[in-house]
Structure 1
Amino acid sequence: MGRPALLVSALLGLSLLSGCGSFEASTGDHEMTGTLLDPHFVVKDAALVAESGSAYSLVKDTDKDLTLVFFGYTHCPDICGIVMSNLASATARLSDEERADVDVVFVTTDPARDTPEVAADYATNFDESFIGVSGDLQTIIDVAKPLGIAVEKGNKLPSGGYEVTHGTQVVAIDADDEGVAYWSQDVSSAQLAADIQHLLREAA
């Protein structure tokens, strides 16, 4: 991801921190690394597209205690692969019971090149249970915005796609279909796993 994308992410992160309560302070027996969202982010019920070609909604099709959502694209040269690898490593640290209560969804920000099949293949390369979805670019932007994720289409590329800038946060959606927490791209897999376990305990 280029310098403009990193700038968008940094500016967005500052705006998020100004309106959210941090989990840095100890909460019970766990000191969270992530940031609690208060008020919670709105999750938009809009039709993205799954590998099968069927509609996929972050509201109607997410019924786990936690759904971790990351917006990126398969041609991303750096950050996307790092974040997705951290997600895979973090979920691998969970028990079988905990893992059953968590979904991970990759939403492409480059649907011109990332078809639903391409997005799904990319996601499952990190973990076979991960979900990858695509869709109309404007719909993706509309879904990302209320979750605090900036997605912007840049110049057209010779390949037919577009330069893409996008926020790099991972957002947690709870069983009530609300965005309740987020993590920056710098979170480690161990920190993320510990935070997920804490949020699952809180949801129990």
Structure 2
Amino acid sequence: MRSQRLLRLSGLARQLLGDEFSCGTRGTICNTKSTFSNNVYFCPVLSQQRLALRRLHTSRYVAAESKAGSRPSTNDVAPVSMRTLILMLMAGAGVTYATRQYTDQKLQKVVSQSQQVVGKAAVGGPFDLIDQDGKRFTDKDLMGEFALLYFGFTHCPDICPDELDKVSEAINTIEKSTGVQLQPVFISVDPERDKPSLVKSYVREFHPRMIGLTGDLEKIKTLSKSYRVYYSKTGESDTDYLVDHSIIHYLINPEGEFVTFFGKNSDAQQLAKQITNHLADWQKEHPDYHRGKVIAVPPAAK
């Protein structure tokens, strides 16, 4: 019985931790010159986790508790206690949380460096969707001002509302300190349920200027692919389901080009500070951008 419990826990550890640490994160960004699946930033933490799991899964629990009178072979490993297994599961969960934060920070650094070395990242592009009022909306409608894009769905129970609240706070902070009205954009990855009327009522809950976009399934797939957005339905029902998706905000400049992205770990003040830095840099390179306004990092975000 004890060996069976240990084997079940071993399987649970593999299920909980095994898929989390492939050296390539679902829904992250790649560019024309590098793929993050082989990036050196991912592997230091992952190697330690793999080593722990390897020791766990190669321990021969059944052999260690062999029949009475039999002698374990020299290849058998001593059984791991229930307490040790629980501690290993807890340690694995801690590594999972730490790695998510670690990779999010490193991803942004890698994208920034790749843009400096090889030019523009292969992210973004033209699109043709429908806004919350049922009108056609294209990428050209965003030109002239910075925009912040977020891909989600209206039935999202917690992540999307939290992220959109954060965006709204950051945008209000930027507007108060600089006078620049950044354009927030919500793009549905669940167009089958997110019709314009539903998207309209949804975006109203977060910011009065937020634009909500939806469209047919193929156009959403094409746009998501161009922005390297991962999403997938989770659930057995055709109508009652959730959508697992990337939690990333994309900053677009007034010419409609991708600038950078921000992950879940950036709070509202950090988001405001980083975006304002990009606005200030743009103003230096384009003196006509909000001429007469001095764009500087808001004091509250320093």
Same fold (TM over 0.5): yes
**Which residue does the alignment assign to 2:130?**
49
181, 188, 191: which is aligned to 2:267? 188
**Which residue does the alignment assign to 1:27?**
none
Q: Hey, what's the Cα distance between the residues in 2 that align with 1:92 and 1:13? A: 27
Q: Hey, what's the Cα distance between the residues in 1 that align with 2:154 and 2:180? A: 26
Q: Hey, what's the Cα distance between the residues in 2 that align with 1:34 and 1:106? A: 25
Whether 1:113 aligns to 2:128 is no
Structure with the greater alpha carbon radius of gyration: 2
8 Å contact from structure 1 (residues 64, 103) kept in 2: no
CA pair 189-80 structure 1, distance change in 2 beyond 3 A: same
Q: TM-score, normalised by structure 1?
A: 0.78
**Which residue does the alignment assign to 1:29?**
none
Task: Report deviation, 1:48.
Answer: 0.9
The alignment-based identity, stated in percent, is: 24
Residue 106 of structure 1 aligns to a residue whose secondary structure is: strand
**Which residue does the alignment assign to 2:228?**
148
Amino acid corresponding to residue 222 of structure 2 in structure 1: D
Task: Report deviation, 1:33.
Answer: 8.7
In proportion to residue count, which structure has more strand? 1
Residue 165 of structure 1 aligns to a residue whose secondary structure is: strand
8 Å contact from structure 1 (residues 68, 105) kept in 2: yes
Whether 1:136 aligns to 2:216 is yes
* Aligned ranges 1:60-75 → 2 under 5 Å: 60-75=140-155
CA pair 111-154 structure 1, distance change in 2 beyond 3 A: same
14, 26, 42: which is aligned to 1:11? 26
Q: Hey, what's the Cα distance between the residues in 2 that align with 1:64 and 1:161? A: 39
Q: TM-score, normalised by structure 2?
A: 0.54
User: Which of structures 1 and 2 has the larger relative contact order (alpha carbons within 8 angstroms, sep 6+)?
Assistant: 1
Q: Hey, what's the Cα distance between the residues in 2 that align with 1:34 and 1:191? A: 19
Amino acid corresponding to residue 266 of structure 2 in structure 1: V
In proportion to residue count, which structure has more helix? 2
Residue 202 of structure 1 aligns to a residue whose secondary structure is: helix
Task: Please list every run of 5 or more consecutive structure 1 residues that lacks an aligned counterpart in the other structure.
Answer: 25-31
| Two-structure CA RMSD over aligned residues (Å) | 3.2
Task: Report deviation, 1:150.
Answer: 1.3
Task: Report deviation, 1:156.
Answer: 5.8
Per-residue CA distance 1:71-105 (angstroms, 9 max, x = gap): 00111112111110100111111135845441110
8 Å contact from structure 1 (residues 79, 185) kept in 2: no
Q: How many residues align?
A: 188
8 Å contact from structure 1 (residues 108, 133) kept in 2: yes
Task: Please list every run of 5 or more consecutive structure 2 residues that lacks an aligned counterpart in the other structure.
Answer: 1-15, 40-104, 284-302
Task: Report deviation, 1:157.
Answer: 2.8
8 Å contact from structure 2 (residues 199, 212) kept in 1: yes
Amino acid corresponding to residue 145 of structure 1 in structure 2: K
8 Å contact from structure 2 (residues 171, 181) kept in 1: no
